[in-house]
Amino acid sequence: MGKVLEESLSNFSDRISDAIKSRKNILVTTHIDCDGITSGAIISKALIRQGAKCTVRTTNEFSEKLVDKMQKETRDLHVITDLGGGFGKLLDEKLSDNWLMLDHHEISDEEKDNERVINAWKFGMDGGVEICAGGMAYLASNALNNENEDLSRVAVVSALGDRQDQGERKAFTGKNLEIVETAKKLGLVNVDLDLLLVGRETRPLPDAIAFTSQPFIEGLTWNRDACIAMLTNAKIQLKDGARWRVPADLSQEEKQSIIESISKFVQGENATQVMEELIGYTYTFPNEEKRSFLRDGREFSTMLNSCGRINKSGVGIAICMGDRNVMLQEGEKILSEYRSMIREYMNVLSNERWRTNNMENCVMVNAQGLVPETMTGTISSLIAGSPKNSGKIVILRTDGSEGTIKFSSRKSASCKNSINLSQLMRGGAEQFDGIGGGHEAAAGAKITKDKLDGFLDYLESNVTKMPDRDSNQ
Question: How far is Cα 199 from Cα 292, in angstroms, rounded to an integer?
Answer: 10
pLDDT above 70 covers a percentage of the chain that reads 97
Element (H, E) at 409: strand 404-411
Question: How far is Cα 182 from Cα 189, in angstroms, rounded to an integer?
Answer: 9
Question: How far is Cα 76 from Cα 24, in angstroms, rounded to an integer?
Answer: 6
Question: How far is Cα 229 from Cα 209, in angstroms, rounded to an integer?
Answer: 12
Pinpoint the residues of the chain covered by CATH 3.10.310.40. 353-472
161-167-173-179 Cα dihedral, nearest 10 degrees: 50
Question: How far is Cα 188 from Cα 206, in angstroms, rounded to an integer?
Answer: 29
Q: Indicate the burial class of 329 (C-beta count within 10 angstroms; 0-12, 13-18, 19 or more).
A: exposed
Q: Is the pLDDT of residue 458 over 90?
A: yes
Give me the mean pLDDT over the 450-464 stretch.
92
pLDDT of the residue at 56: 95
Is the link from the previous residue into 372 a cis peptide, with omega within 30 of 0?
no
Give me the mean pLDDT over the 309-337 stretch.
91
**What single string gives the DSSP state of each residue in 62-114?**
--HHHHHHHHHS--SEEEEES--TT-HHHHHHHHTT-EEEEE-S---HHHHT-
The CA-to-CA distance between both ends of the chain, in Å, stands at 31
pLDDT above 90 covers a percentage of the chain that reads 78
Give me the mean pLDDT over the 267-286 stretch.
88
Element (H, E) at 283: strand 279-284
- Of the candidate CATH numbers 3.40.50.2000, 2.30.40.10, 3.30.43.10, 3.10.310.40, the domain formed by 353-472 belongs to 3.10.310.40
Summary mean pLDDT of the chain: 92
**Is 107:82 a contact under the CB 8 Å cutoff?**
no
Pinpoint the residues of the chain covered by CATH 3.90.1640.30. 2-156
Architecture of domain 2-156: Alpha-Beta Complex (3.90)
**Is 105:437 a contact under the CB 8 Å cutoff?**
yes
Longest dimension (CA), the chain: 68
pLDDT tens per residue across span 350-380: 999 999 999 888 999 999 999 999 999 999 9
pLDDT confidence tier of residue 465, bands split at 50, 70 and 90: low
pLDDT tens per residue across span 405-417: 999 999 987 788 8
